[in-house]
A and B are shown apart, each in its own frame.
Chain A
Amino acid sequence: ETGVTQSPTHLIKTRGQQVTLRCSSQSGHNTVSWYQQALGQGPQFIFQYYREEENGRGNFPPRFSGLQFPNYSSELNVNALELDDSALYLCASSLWPSSSGANVLTFGAGSRLTVL
Protein backbone atom coordinates (compact mmCIF):
# COMPACT_ATOMS: atom_id res chain seq x y z
CA GLU A 1 0.00 0.00 0.00
CA THR A 2 1.22 3.51 -0.75
CA GLY A 3 1.68 5.94 2.11
CA VAL A 4 0.89 9.63 2.31
CA THR A 5 2.82 11.75 -0.15
CA GLN A 6 3.15 15.54 -0.06
CA SER A 7 4.44 18.14 -2.47
CA PRO A 8 6.44 20.27 -2.63
CA THR A 9 8.94 19.23 0.04
CA HIS A 10 10.36 22.73 0.44
CA LEU A 11 9.30 26.15 -0.73
CA ILE A 12 10.08 29.78 -0.04
CA LYS A 13 7.50 32.56 -0.29
CA THR A 14 7.40 36.22 0.62
CA ARG A 15 4.98 37.89 2.99
CA GLY A 16 1.57 38.54 1.43
CA GLN A 17 1.85 35.80 -1.16
CA GLN A 18 -0.38 32.75 -1.44
CA VAL A 19 0.67 29.09 -1.31
CA THR A 20 -0.92 25.75 -2.21
CA LEU A 21 0.33 22.50 -0.70
CA ARG A 22 -0.74 19.12 -2.01
CA CYS A 23 -1.28 15.71 -0.47
CA SER A 24 -2.17 12.22 -1.65
CA SER A 25 -3.79 10.10 1.02
CA GLN A 26 -2.89 6.52 1.84
CA SER A 27 -4.83 4.03 -0.24
CA GLY A 28 -8.09 3.03 1.49
CA HIS A 29 -8.26 6.09 3.74
CA ASN A 30 -11.25 8.44 3.57
CA THR A 31 -10.31 11.37 5.80
CA VAL A 32 -7.47 13.84 5.46
CA SER A 33 -6.15 16.25 8.08
CA TRP A 34 -3.60 19.03 7.99
CA TYR A 35 -1.27 19.96 10.82
CA GLN A 36 1.19 22.82 11.27
CA GLN A 37 4.43 22.11 13.13
CA ALA A 38 6.41 25.18 14.12
CA LEU A 39 10.04 24.81 15.17
CA GLY A 40 10.34 23.15 18.57
CA GLN A 41 6.61 22.49 18.82
CA GLY A 42 4.31 19.56 18.30
CA PRO A 43 1.97 19.38 15.31
CA GLN A 44 -1.12 21.59 15.65
CA PHE A 45 -4.43 20.64 14.05
CA ILE A 46 -5.51 22.96 11.25
CA PHE A 47 -8.56 21.15 9.84
CA GLN A 48 -9.91 17.84 8.61
CA TYR A 49 -11.87 16.85 5.54
CA TYR A 50 -14.28 13.97 5.19
CA ARG A 51 -16.45 13.34 2.14
CA GLU A 52 -15.00 16.48 0.56
CA GLU A 53 -16.27 18.73 3.35
CA GLU A 54 -14.45 20.37 6.23
CA ASN A 55 -15.72 18.67 9.39
CA GLY A 56 -13.36 19.98 12.06
CA ARG A 57 -11.13 23.02 12.41
CA GLY A 58 -8.46 24.14 14.85
CA ASN A 59 -7.59 27.66 15.95
CA PHE A 60 -6.49 28.93 12.53
CA PRO A 61 -7.85 31.98 10.65
CA PRO A 62 -9.99 31.71 7.49
CA ARG A 63 -7.01 32.49 5.26
CA PHE A 64 -6.14 28.81 5.84
CA SER A 65 -8.45 26.81 3.59
CA GLY A 66 -8.50 23.42 1.99
CA LEU A 67 -10.05 21.01 -0.43
CA GLN A 68 -10.53 17.27 -0.54
CA PHE A 69 -11.07 15.67 -3.93
CA PRO A 70 -13.12 12.56 -4.82
CA ASN A 71 -9.91 10.48 -4.96
CA TYR A 72 -9.22 11.61 -1.35
CA SER A 73 -6.25 13.77 -2.32
CA SER A 74 -6.19 17.19 -0.72
CA GLU A 75 -4.89 20.74 -0.90
CA LEU A 76 -4.04 23.26 1.79
CA ASN A 77 -4.19 26.90 0.69
CA VAL A 78 -2.82 29.77 2.72
CA ASN A 79 -3.51 33.35 1.62
CA ALA A 80 -1.79 36.56 2.68
CA LEU A 81 1.23 34.74 4.09
CA GLU A 82 2.73 36.03 7.32
CA LEU A 83 6.20 35.42 8.73
CA ASP A 84 4.72 33.23 11.48
CA ASP A 85 3.32 30.86 8.85
CA SER A 86 6.85 29.52 8.41
CA ALA A 87 6.55 25.90 9.53
CA LEU A 88 6.41 22.26 8.49
CA TYR A 89 2.95 21.44 7.15
CA LEU A 90 1.96 17.83 7.67
CA CYS A 91 -0.82 16.01 5.88
CA ALA A 92 -2.31 12.93 7.52
CA SER A 93 -4.92 10.45 6.39
CA SER A 94 -7.02 7.94 8.26
CA LEU A 95 -9.98 5.62 7.88
CA TRP A 96 -13.19 6.53 9.61
CA PRO A 97 -14.73 4.76 11.34
CA SER A 98 -11.69 3.04 12.78
CA SER A 99 -11.93 -0.65 13.64
CA SER A 100 -9.51 -0.21 16.53
CA GLY A 101 -11.21 2.82 18.04
CA ALA A 102 -7.95 4.76 18.29
CA ASN A 103 -7.53 7.67 15.90
CA VAL A 104 -4.38 6.46 14.14
CA LEU A 105 -3.22 8.97 11.56
CA THR A 106 -0.71 8.16 8.83
CA PHE A 107 1.46 11.21 8.17
CA GLY A 108 3.36 12.36 5.14
CA ALA A 109 6.88 13.74 5.36
CA GLY A 110 5.61 17.30 5.20
CA SER A 111 6.13 20.48 3.21
CA ARG A 112 8.60 22.93 4.72
CA LEU A 113 7.37 26.49 4.11
CA THR A 114 9.62 29.49 4.69
CA VAL A 115 8.05 32.95 4.55
CA LEU A 116 10.49 35.86 4.09
Chain B
Amino acid sequence: DQQVKQNSPSLSVQEGRISILNCDYTNSMFDYFLWYKKYPAEGPTFLISISSIKDKNEDGRFTVFLNKSAKHLSLHIVPSQPGDSAVYFCAASTNYGGATNKLIFGTGTLLAVQP
Protein backbone atom coordinates (compact mmCIF):
# COMPACT_ATOMS: atom_id res chain seq x y z
CA ASP B 1 0.00 0.00 0.00
CA GLN B 2 1.85 3.04 -1.30
CA GLN B 3 0.61 6.04 0.68
CA VAL B 4 2.74 8.58 -1.21
CA LYS B 5 2.93 8.38 -4.99
CA GLN B 6 4.99 10.16 -7.59
CA ASN B 7 3.60 8.98 -10.90
CA SER B 8 6.18 10.64 -13.15
CA PRO B 9 9.51 8.79 -13.04
CA SER B 10 11.22 11.54 -15.02
CA LEU B 11 10.81 15.11 -16.26
CA SER B 12 12.88 17.13 -18.73
CA VAL B 13 12.75 20.94 -18.74
CA GLN B 14 14.63 23.73 -20.51
CA GLU B 15 16.82 26.01 -18.43
CA GLY B 16 14.92 29.11 -17.34
CA ARG B 17 11.50 27.47 -17.63
CA ILE B 18 9.27 26.20 -14.83
CA SER B 19 9.61 22.67 -13.46
CA ILE B 20 6.50 21.17 -11.86
CA LEU B 21 6.85 17.96 -9.88
CA ASN B 22 3.71 16.24 -8.64
CA CYS B 23 2.87 14.03 -5.69
CA ASP B 24 -0.33 12.31 -4.54
CA TYR B 25 -1.10 10.81 -1.15
CA THR B 26 -3.82 8.68 0.36
CA ASN B 27 -3.62 9.23 4.13
CA SER B 28 -5.55 12.29 5.27
CA MET B 29 -3.79 12.14 8.67
CA PHE B 30 -0.46 13.38 7.27
CA ASP B 31 0.36 16.69 8.95
CA TYR B 32 3.50 17.75 7.07
CA PHE B 33 4.76 17.24 3.56
CA LEU B 34 8.40 17.64 2.58
CA TRP B 35 10.43 17.67 -0.60
CA TYR B 36 13.95 16.28 -0.73
CA LYS B 37 16.48 16.46 -3.54
CA LYS B 38 19.06 13.74 -4.13
CA TYR B 39 22.20 13.88 -6.24
CA PRO B 40 24.03 10.64 -7.14
CA ALA B 41 26.31 9.36 -4.37
CA GLU B 42 24.84 11.84 -1.87
CA GLY B 43 22.10 11.57 0.72
CA PRO B 44 18.72 13.28 0.24
CA THR B 45 18.82 17.00 1.05
CA PHE B 46 15.81 18.82 2.50
CA LEU B 47 14.34 21.47 0.19
CA ILE B 48 11.04 22.76 1.49
CA SER B 49 8.08 21.66 3.60
CA ILE B 50 4.44 22.56 4.04
CA SER B 51 2.04 22.07 6.89
CA SER B 52 -1.29 20.42 6.14
CA ILE B 53 -3.05 23.58 7.35
CA LYS B 54 -1.43 25.68 4.62
CA ASP B 55 -1.97 25.64 0.88
CA LYS B 56 1.27 27.29 -0.24
CA ASN B 57 4.82 27.74 0.98
CA GLU B 58 7.52 29.62 -0.90
CA ASP B 59 11.30 29.70 -0.48
CA GLY B 60 13.21 31.51 -3.19
CA ARG B 61 12.83 29.65 -6.48
CA PHE B 62 10.89 26.83 -4.83
CA THR B 63 7.16 26.86 -4.10
CA VAL B 64 5.08 23.97 -2.82
CA PHE B 65 1.31 23.91 -3.29
CA LEU B 66 -1.02 21.65 -1.32
CA ASN B 67 -4.54 20.70 -2.40
CA LYS B 68 -6.00 18.76 0.53
CA SER B 69 -9.31 17.98 -1.12
CA ALA B 70 -7.48 16.30 -4.01
CA LYS B 71 -4.76 14.87 -1.75
CA HIS B 72 -2.22 16.35 -4.12
CA LEU B 73 0.86 18.51 -3.79
CA SER B 74 3.27 19.96 -6.29
CA LEU B 75 6.71 21.52 -6.24
CA HIS B 76 7.35 24.41 -8.62
CA ILE B 77 10.90 25.46 -9.47
CA VAL B 78 11.19 28.83 -11.25
CA PRO B 79 13.44 29.47 -13.06
CA SER B 80 14.93 26.00 -13.48
CA GLN B 81 18.73 25.74 -13.55
CA PRO B 82 21.00 22.91 -14.73
CA GLY B 83 22.16 22.45 -11.10
CA ASP B 84 18.58 21.50 -10.20
CA SER B 85 19.00 18.23 -12.13
CA ALA B 86 18.51 15.53 -9.49
CA VAL B 87 15.98 13.05 -8.14
CA TYR B 88 13.20 14.75 -6.17
CA PHE B 89 11.37 12.85 -3.44
CA CYS B 90 8.06 13.81 -1.94
CA ALA B 91 7.64 12.71 1.68
CA ALA B 92 4.90 12.87 4.28
CA SER B 93 4.85 12.64 8.04
CA THR B 94 2.31 12.26 10.75
CA ASN B 95 2.55 12.77 14.47
CA TYR B 96 2.65 9.30 15.95
CA GLY B 97 2.95 10.74 19.41
CA GLY B 98 6.19 11.18 21.24
CA ALA B 99 9.46 11.36 19.39
CA THR B 100 8.73 9.05 16.44
CA ASN B 101 9.75 10.92 13.29
CA LYS B 102 8.78 8.60 10.46
CA LEU B 103 8.76 9.90 6.89
CA ILE B 104 6.95 8.06 4.10
CA PHE B 105 8.58 8.68 0.73
CA GLY B 106 7.38 8.50 -2.83
CA THR B 107 9.46 6.73 -5.48
CA GLY B 108 11.02 9.94 -6.78
CA THR B 109 11.07 11.94 -10.02
CA LEU B 110 14.29 12.43 -11.97
CA LEU B 111 14.45 16.05 -13.14
CA ALA B 112 16.76 16.91 -16.02
CA VAL B 113 17.23 20.61 -16.76
CA GLN B 114 18.63 21.09 -20.25
CA PRO B 115 20.98 24.08 -20.84
Contacts and interface: CB of A to CB of B under 8 A. Distances in A.
Do the two chains bind?
yes
B82 to A, nearest CB: 22
A90 B102 CA distance: 13
B107 A41 contact: yes
A101 interface: yes
A43 B104 CA distance: 8
A107 interface: yes
A108 B49 contact: no
Interface residues of B, number: 28
A100 B107 CA distance: 26
B65 interface: no
Interface in A47-76: 48, 50-51, 55-56, 58
- Which of B34, B41, B100, B108 has the most chain A CB atoms closer than 10 A to its own CB? B100
A58 B99 contact: no
Interface in B34-56: 34, 36, 41-46, 49, 51
A110 B43 CA distance: 6
27 contacts: A4-B43, A41-B107, A42-B6, A42-B89, A42-B91, A43-B44, A43-B89, A48-B99, A51-B99, A55-B100, A56-B96, A56-B100, A90-B43, A90-B44, A92-B43, A94-B101, A97-B99, A102-B34, A102-B49, A103-B102, A104-B34, A104-B46, A104-B49, A107-B44, A107-B45, A108-B43, A109-B43
Interface of B: 4, 6, 32, 34, 36, 41-46, 49, 51, 89, 91, 93, 96, 98-108
Interface of A: 4, 31, 33, 35, 40-45, 48, 50-51, 55-56, 58, 90, 92, 94, 96-97, 100-110
